[in-house]
Amino acid sequence: MDGKEERFTYHFILAAGLLICAYIIIYRVLGLSILSHSDYDSYTRQAAAWWQGRSDLPGNVTWLELAFFNGRYYVSFPPFPSVIQFLLIPFFGTETPDNLINTLFGFFSFVLIYRFMMRRGFGGLYSSLTALLLTMGSNLFYMSVTGWVWFSAQTQGFFFAALAVYLSDSGRKSAWYFSFLCLGFAFACRPMYIVYAPLLLVLIYHKIYDGGRIRTLVLCAKYALPLAAAGIAAAVYNISRFGNPFEFGHNYLPEFLYAPQFSLKYVPGNFLEILKLPGGKGFWPAYNGTLFFLVNPAFVLLAVRLFERRLDGGRVLYLACALTHLVLILSHKTMGGWQFGCRYLVDLLPFSLLIIGGRPKTELPPKSAALPAALAAFGIAVNIWGAVWYYPQIM
């Protein structure tokens, strides 16, 4: 093993150990069991219904966000996390270990980000710090501690979006099929991830371009077929329940019967929500958001990395996709409701890796890790504090 590999192993083990210890401590402090099943188990109930050959639930569950349509109750969230639960029900019944599932998705998101940064030519220290910043140092951390339906969708969506980015950077053409498939899985957790499909197409287009534009576009379309298949599957499932390929069920929640779920009129107010400063009686604003880069300081690193180089076509396309994603998030009626931090904007982080992990032109000096180190330390402290503050208030 050469020196570089030793540093890689050393930094990874230290960072992974820190993350695992943080999970253990937060579970102990909050009095939670990593193997326990969540009461907010919409996805488990949906999976159990699938095993019974039905798409609706047997009846209403008052504490869950269930859609009511044509006299039946349905899970109102995009369905992919129920696929995970469907595979686990034969072993655990309906008492699946939701907390463990979310924690594993959070941990392996850290591993993916680390591996991506290493592949892009960053050293073990920089890669470890970046991986910690985007996971333990972001709102993903507190969401990956419990298996609540909302947090399951975001944590799994984050993982599959990060995996899509990781696989798109592979030199193996077979990996590109799985990159688009993972984007399809992310879409079936959090539909707004679909805005990054053009970005993936362009990335792969440049990898296989051989002077023939039409031929290259046809090849790119071939690799995107798994994403199309995932979209068609979700559309068929929506039609079977609500008669509308674009309806996952949220529009049939009581809160959206008299107000639209999405509207551009919500954007100005929601933008102010994600700029709220902490302070006052509870210190952390408890509803709809907190200053987004305070609780997710990875956005600071993203801004630095984005503007340290000239805005070429790839960066402009990323910005267009990310801004479209942001506007879609801000046009939702709420910004995540009761929460710590600004959890909706965590969905922007996986594809930010394409900028944060832009290949360095020269070997980076050790001092280049100072910024991600400072941001990671700050983000970890804030998000551990936030998790300890948040859960006792609602459990």
Three-state SS at 331? coil
> Under 8 Å CB-to-CB from 217, ≥6 apart: which residues?
205
Apex 244 CA angle, 259 and 226, nearest 5: 120
Apex 187 CA angle, 394 and 259, nearest 5: 60
pLDDT one digit per residue (tens) for the chain, 395 residues: 333 444 457 899 999 999 999 999 999 999 999 999 999 999 999 999 999 999 999 999 999 999 999 999 999 999 999 999 999 999 999 999 999 999 999 999 999 999 999 999 898 999 999 999 999 999 999 999 999 999 999 999 999 999 999 999 988 889 999 999 999 999 999 999 999 999 999 999 888 877 777 778 888 889 999 999 999 999 999 999 999 999 999 999 988 888 899 999 999 999 999 999 998 788 999 899 999 999 999 999 999 999 888 888 889 999 999 999 999 999 999 999 999 999 999 999 999 999 999 877 666 777 789 999 999 999 999 999 999 999 987 76
Number of domains in the chain: 1
Residue 50 neighbours by CB distance under 10 Å: 16
In angstroms, the CA 206 to CA 209 distance is 5
Residue 361, pLDDT score = 66
Closest CA to 227 of 184, 192, 198: 184
In angstroms, the CA 311 to CA 79 distance is 37
Residue 325, pLDDT score = 98
Residue 8, pLDDT score = 55
Please report how many Cα atoms fall inside a 13 Å half-sphere around the Cα of residue 156, on the Cβ side.
30
Closest CA to 72 of 245, 240, 234, 259: 240
In angstroms, the CA 379 to CA 392 distance is 21
What are the structure tokens assigned to 157, written together? 């969506």
Compute φ and ψ for 235, nearest 5 degrees: -65, -45
Element at 67 (helix H, strand E): strand 66-69
The boundaries of the domain holding residue 101 are 3-394
